[in-house]
Chains A and B, each alone.
Chain A
């Protein structure tokens, strides 16, 4: 977070050097596909466009630091235009590695917030704008069954929806229980790794020792000062 605040003071915060180089023609089909895909995804949630209207006229830059690529988003109430080369000042810059962005896109709610707070994703410039724009994607609520029904009709869509929900539900449950089984086996049967309470106990002990050492150090310092004064 501190990075974001620091760079707010400078006029040109944290954009990578890609900014001034030219767009390669090879990049163009990728951009077009990304723009079309993103707009189709957004169009699936009817409320998106109301939310998008708030961002009209603002420019949001994404700085994908590890591949040295900037993307500039120009949203209005209808769609988002994407450009990879813009010579002006964006209103906000959201920067991070490709991995951090994909994590943010795919992760659960809590993880997303965490990625901003632990510094994987940095927002500079207009912080509120950056955060609101991020939130736009978190609020996406797509009714897949509804969209499928346009193609297949309601009954089939609903049955397919049920099947999908069952499959995902089963998969999730299986993964959860598999995870639990493995961790219990390692913690209690083979004792290869420590269990939660054991780790907590160990951490507390480390904290206590650290505090003791700090106190001892402070005491030594005080004695040394006293000695120097007397000497």
Chain B
């Protein structure tokens, strides 16, 4: 349903319809604008729960010592920090983000925390990942897929660079399923969220975009179907916080 907008040369940017090229630029603008305060905003917006969602992602990743992990749209490096410790000195983690402001903030933050040695930073577009086939044991993309213009291309690209036996984990806002949650959530996203964005990052437009882009993102079953189309097998998802967020998982065999 949501994908109808993606036909032809136009796609959606929040609730607006824009040219595909234009979306890339506009998303970049949003993240350049929020990069330095992204962490604080995440904590505020999710009331700290995003840390738990990310922790579950790590638990379900099956990542082991010595493996290689790609943390796409890794932003400020929360997942990379955890994976870096789990894979140890013999493994390695690539923090990839299309936005150089986010990448710089993430790199500075990880280096400040002493997380160095097995982490690399790559500015990469998820639709055409600059890695050879069968490179990673695990790929995660947390709160990033929504901002990708061509999601099907991104899923295919991730499938290509994943090793056989590897798994993809997508943590993304989804459709609330808990009864009575929807109206509350709508009120929160369209009234409280942009106001908080205004107060903290002095940028209510960017946060309005975040809220709108969440609504335009495919729901649980649609995304699962898209993963299967891209070639992933044994796809499943876990609803978190009443379906506000869902963790999708698929394997490449």
Partner-A contacts on B (CB < 8 A): 51-52, 55-56, 58-60, 62, 64-65, 82, 85-86, 88-89, 113-114, 238, 240
Q: Are B64 and A28 in contact (CB under 8 A)?
A: no
Most A-side CB within 10 Å, residue of B59, B82, B240: B59
Task: State whether A28 and B56 are in contact (beta carbons under 8 Å apart), knowing that A81-B82, A86-B64 are contacts in the complex.
Answer: yes
Q: Are B113 and A78 in contact (CB under 8 A)?
A: yes
Encode A53-79 as 1/0 by CB contact (under 8 A) with B. 000010100000000000000101110
User: Cβ of A76: which chain B residues have Cβ within 8 Å of it?
Assistant: 85
User: Cβ of B51: which chain A residues have Cβ within 8 Å of it?
Assistant: 32
Q: List 17 A-B contacts (CB under 8 A).
A: A22-B59, A22-B60, A23-B56, A23-B60, A28-B52, A28-B59, A31-B55, A32-B52, A32-B55, A77-B114, A78-B113, A81-B82, A81-B85, A83-B86, A85-B59, A85-B60, A88-B64
Residue in chain A with minimal CB distance to B56? A28
User: Cβ of B86: which chain A residues have Cβ within 8 Å of it?
Assistant: 74, 81, 83, 86
Residue in chain A with minimal CB distance to B89? A57
Q: List 7 additional contacts besides A81-B86, A87-B64; criterion CB under 8 Å.
A: A23-B56, A28-B52, A74-B86, A76-B85, A81-B85, A85-B62, A88-B65
User: Cβ of A84: which chain B residues have Cβ within 8 Å of it?
Assistant: 59
Q: Are A57 and B114 in contact (CB under 8 A)?
A: no
Residue in chain A with minimal CB distance to B113? A78
For the complex formed, measure the closest distance between the CB of A40 and the CB atoms of chain B, giving whole angstroms. 16
Task: Give the A interface residue count (CB, 8 A).
Answer: 20
Residue in chain A with minimal CB distance to B62? A87
Residue in chain B with minimal CB distance to A29? B52
For the complex formed, measure the closest distance between the CB of A88 and the CB atoms of chain B, giving whole angstroms. 3
Bound form: Cα–Cα A88–B62 in Å: 8
Q: Contact check: which of B82, B89, B113, B240 meets A25 at CB < 8 Å?
A: B240
